[in-house]
Amino acid sequence: MEIIKEQVFVRSKLKRLFAYYIAAVFCFMICLSSLIFYGKYLESLQETVNKLYRLKANASKIVIATKEITASLPDMNRTIPPGIYSESSEKFIFVGLDDLKNRLGEADVAFTTIEVKDNELRLPVVITGSINDYSQFVKNVGYLQSMRFPFFTFTSLALSRSEKAGGGMVAYEIQGILSILKNNNSPGEQGPGKAGT
């Protein structure tokens, strides 16, 4: 009988120990889960702080960029000719061609028809002449490179010795394209949203 009492006592003690063990494991799991959650929370908090620092740094960059844009707007307004959006693109091409003819003086300027490609009007131009003054020729080439509205794009520049009048003059031929973006105010052009007839 005593053995049965001892076995009952040991079983009850084991049941209590098992209950304590289960409670300890449960507490350990709660603590471990809390530590993992706390670690993730700290990582998230650090990431948020880093994002705030980046945002603060970017905010100052945005302020600087805004000031630069504001400062450059007057230059852009001086560079872009008035009426660029209200007048036809062809007008700007032909005004540019007239300016080119006036600037180059004795040179022959030939052109073909205006082409439309990739929302851009293009006028192929061939300029021929002889070089009487090299510095003036260089200035004229620089003028062509600096043209805006319309832009002048060189496709070729050829120099050759000409035996005209026995002087051994240097002749030149410049091929290029006057181009400008097409706007919706050009005659016969369709803008976005306009149906063709």
* Extents of the domains making up the chain: 1-79, 89-181
CATH class given for the domain over 89-181? alpha beta
Give the pLDDT score at 172. 87
Give the pLDDT score at 193. 37
Please list, residue by residue across 94-128, b when 16 or more beta carbons sit within 10 angstroms of its beta carbon and e when fewer do: bebbeebeeebeebebebeebeeeeeebbbbbebe
Give the pLDDT score at 43. 92
Give the pLDDT score at 190. 41
Give the pLDDT score at 50. 92
Please list, residue by residue across 171-189, b when 16 or more beta carbons sit within 10 angstroms of its beta carbon and e when fewer do: ebebbbbbbbebbebbeee
Say if CB 129 and CB 144 are below 8 A apart. no
Give the pLDDT score at 191. 40
Q: Nearest Cα to 125, choosing from 143, 139, 113, 117?
A: 113
User: Going residue by residue through the chain (197 aa), what tens digit of pLDDT does each one get?
Assistant: 677 777 777 788 888 888 899 999 999 999 999 999 999 999 999 999 999 988 888 888 888 999 999 888 887 777 666 666 666 777 778 888 888 888 888 888 888 888 888 878 888 999 988 888 888 888 888 888 888 778 888 888 888 886 664 566 788 899 998 888 777 655 544 443 333 33
